């Protein structure tokens, strides 16, 4: 089953200069990059990304900290495509809390911050990357960050790109 997933490389990934290394991991696993852009998020985009659902699950204060973290610098928004790619990307990214992420995952190899540290500092967790948690969430999130004409499709042989209309 071919799926798409949103991947956001957050401001701390750009600050650290590891964007290329992270993108390379997705290319090496065979994910196709069908959308890619560097941008500074507008506040309304960050608010659409971190939905009210997050506030209900983790509290409005956490949602606000995550929005502020996303607005703290440029981000790379990427749409990747591949066979059951949502699950593949989530495994590659690792646990949301960096200190709990397994070695070999992006967060496990490049970050170590704990929820407790972020809470003590009153900041969002700088964990380098966001990845959609389900195919349904991916569809919603991709539409937050990309217009249809910014995404490309692969043809059935998976060798050529075409503009999505």
Compute the distance between CA of residue 9 and CA of residue 115 in angstroms, rounded to an integer: 19
- Name the catalytic one among 49, 112, 117, 130: 130
Alpha-carbon separation of residue 30 from 21, 57, 77, 148 (angstroms)? 15, 33, 18, 23
130 is an active site residue: yes
Beta bridge partners of 5: 80
Compute the distance between CA of residue 11 and CA of residue 162 in angstroms, rounded to an integer: 30
**Residue 85 in contact with residue 9, Cβ under 8 Å?**
no
- Residue matched to tokens 């790619």: 85
- The candidate with the shortest Cα–Cα distance to 132, out of 124, 120, 143, is 143
The Cβ-side half-sphere exposure at 17, using a 13 Å CA radius, reads 0
**Residue 138 in contact with residue 5, Cβ under 8 Å?**
yes
Compute the distance between CA of residue 146 and CA of residue 5 in angstroms, rounded to an integer: 12
Return the active site residues. 130
């Amino acid at each position: 089953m071919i799926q798409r997933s949103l991947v956001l490389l957050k401001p701390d990934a750009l600050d650290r200069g590891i964007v290329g290394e992270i993108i390379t991991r997705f290319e090496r696993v065979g994910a196709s990059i069908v959308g890619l852009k560097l941008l500074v998020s507008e506040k309304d985009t960050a608010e659409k990304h971190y939905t009210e659902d997050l506030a209900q699950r983790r509290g409005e204060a956490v949602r606000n900290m995550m929005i502020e973290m996303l607005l703290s610098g440029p981000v790379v928004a990427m749409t990747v495509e591949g066979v059951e790619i949502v699950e593949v990307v989530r495994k590659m990214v690792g646990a949301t809390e960096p200190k709990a992420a397994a070695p070999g995952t992006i967060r496990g190899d490049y970050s170590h911050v704990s929820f407790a540290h972020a809470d003590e500092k009153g900041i969002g967790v700088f964990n380098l990357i966001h990845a959609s948690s389900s195919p349904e969430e991916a569809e919603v999130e991709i539409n937050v960050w990309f217009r249809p004409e910014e995404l490309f499709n692969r043809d059935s042989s998976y060798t050529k790109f075409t503009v999505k209309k």
